[in-house]
Structure 1
Amino acid sequence: MSILTVNKSRFATDISFSENKMTVFFEDGRELSVPLEWFPRLRHATLVQLKKWRFIGNGEGIHWEELDEDISIENLLE
Structure 2
Amino acid sequence: MTPPAIKPDPRAIDAFVTEDMILVSLADGRELSVPLAWSEKLLASSEAERANWQLVGTGEALRWPDVDEEIAVVSLMRVA
Same fold (TM over 0.5): yes
Deviation readout 1:40-64 (Å, 9 max, x if unpaired): 0000111100011101111000111
**For residue 64 of structure 1, what is the aligned residue in structure 2?**
64
Q: If each structure's helix is expressed as a fraction of its own residues, which one has the higher value?
A: 2
TM-aligned CA deviation for residue 74 of structure 1:
1.1
TM-aligned CA deviation for residue 6 of structure 1:
2.6
**For residue 42 of structure 1, what is the aligned residue in structure 2?**
42
Hey, what's the Cα distance between the residues in 2 that align with 1:17 and 1:3? Answer: 34
CA RMSD of aligned residues (A): 1.5
TM-aligned CA deviation for residue 20 of structure 1:
0.3
Higher relative contact order (Cα pairs below 8 Å, separated by 6+ residues): 2
**For residue 20 of structure 2, what is the aligned residue in structure 1?**
20
Moved >2 Å (runs of 4+): 1-6
The one-letter amino acid paired with 1:15 is A
Hey, what's the Cα distance between the residues in 2 that align with 1:3 and 1:63? Answer: 36
**% identical aligned pairs:** 32
Q: TM-score, normalised by structure 1?
A: 0.89
**For residue 52 of structure 2, what is the aligned residue in structure 1?**
52
The one-letter amino acid paired with 2:56 is I
The one-letter amino acid paired with 1:72 is A
**For residue 5 of structure 2, what is the aligned residue in structure 1?**
5
